[in-house]
Amino acid sequence: MHWPQTLWLRGYPAQASVCAHRAIADAERIDHPVSLAIVLAAITVLLSTDEIQAAEQHLDWFISRAATQSFGPYLDVGQGLKGELAIRRGDVEAGIEMLRDCLGRLHAANYERFTTRFHLMIARGFAGSGRFMEAVTLMDETMGMVEASGGTTYSPELLRLKGSILLAMPKLRIEDAEMCFVQSLELSRRQGARAWELRTAPILRRSGPNKDDPTTHARCLRPIFEQFTEGSDTVDLKAAEQLLTTLR
């Protein structure tokens, strides 16, 4: 049996969603301390598939049980995911503050499992509020931390987000951004992480010497898009399909 997050990363978002919902239903019915870990992992998958309402509903259950069972780090992670939801919905400053608060408590507890994910969201919040240099600095620090620890699952997304931030800055850093996107794609392919690959390929078209050539863009994106055999209603696949339509 594959974990939902593995299914999502490998390019099976529909199966990942079904698996996540099933795992949550089973875990909430059993209501055992181990259930918290299962529900937490499944909630992150629902966030990946942009099932925001479902993720928030189960997150409330998770936080309630973590508080009842005095699972301090889990309670902090739950509050951090609340901060992530706030940023996704545009309440950037509140979301950043929540994430920083929870990270402080998690660092004190030596619980670093969600540090990279939360740094990604804080950087996204920084960029959304025009604090580009803070966002780039945080991405660089996080990539150094990831390289030192050897955990590379989020590395393609770190590179993609850094590249996107470099393209959004008032003074564009196009060559640096393109390097980030190329490295993100190469690492995604080595990992077999089609989900990250699909997110990076459309942004690559905004940089580089062939940024105005639709044929080049389609040639890059189409083979990635065609590897997906399910999940056509997910945000990433819809965006890729719409872009390919405009490139014809």
Report pLDDT digits (tens) over 96-138. 999 999 999 999 999 999 999 999 999 999 999 999 999 999 9
The pLDDT of 209-227, averaged and rounded, is: 71
Residue 239 lies in a domain: no
Residue 51 lies in a domain: yes
* Residues contacting residue 205 through CB under 8 Å, at least 6 positions apart: 211, 216, 217, 220, 221, 243
Report pLDDT digits (tens) over 182-211. 999 999 999 999 999 999 988 866 555 555
Neighbours of 22 (CB within 10 A): 12
Angle at 152 between CA 171 and CA 59, to 5 degrees: 90
Among 55-59, 95-99, 242-246, where is mean pLDDT lowest?
242-246
Domain count, the chain: 1
Q: At what angle do helices 92-108 and 115-128 cross, to 10 degrees?
A: 150
Residue 8 lies in a domain: yes
Between residues 108 and 218, the one the model is more confident about: 108
Q: Which domain holds residue 75?
A: 1-89
Residue 14 lies in a domain: yes
Report pLDDT digits (tens) over 80-106. 999 999 999 999 999 999 999 999 999
Q: Is the pLDDT of residue 140 over 60?
A: yes
Residue 100 lies in a domain: no
Residue 5 lies in a domain: yes
Residue 98 lies in a domain: no
Q: Is the pLDDT of residue 1 over 50?
A: no
Report pLDDT digits (tens) over 157-176. 999 999 999 999 988 788 89
Running DSSP on this structure, what letter comes out for residue 227? T
Between residues 135 and 243, the one the model is more confident about: 135
For 125-151, b where at least 16 C-beta lie within 10 A, e where not — what string? bbbbeebbebbbebbeebbeebeeeee
Report pLDDT digits (tens) over 2-51. 588 999 999 999 999 999 999 999 888 887 777 788 899 999 999 999 99
What length is written for the chain?
248
Q: Is the pLDDT of residue 239 over 90?
A: no
Provide the pLDDT for residue 210.
54
Neighbours of 239 (CB within 10 A): 13
Q: Please state, in angstroms and as integers, the Cα–Cα distance from residue 5 to each residue in 14, 17, 40, 86, 179, following that order.
A: 11, 9, 11, 22, 27
Provide the pLDDT for residue 213.
58
Residue 85 lies in a domain: yes
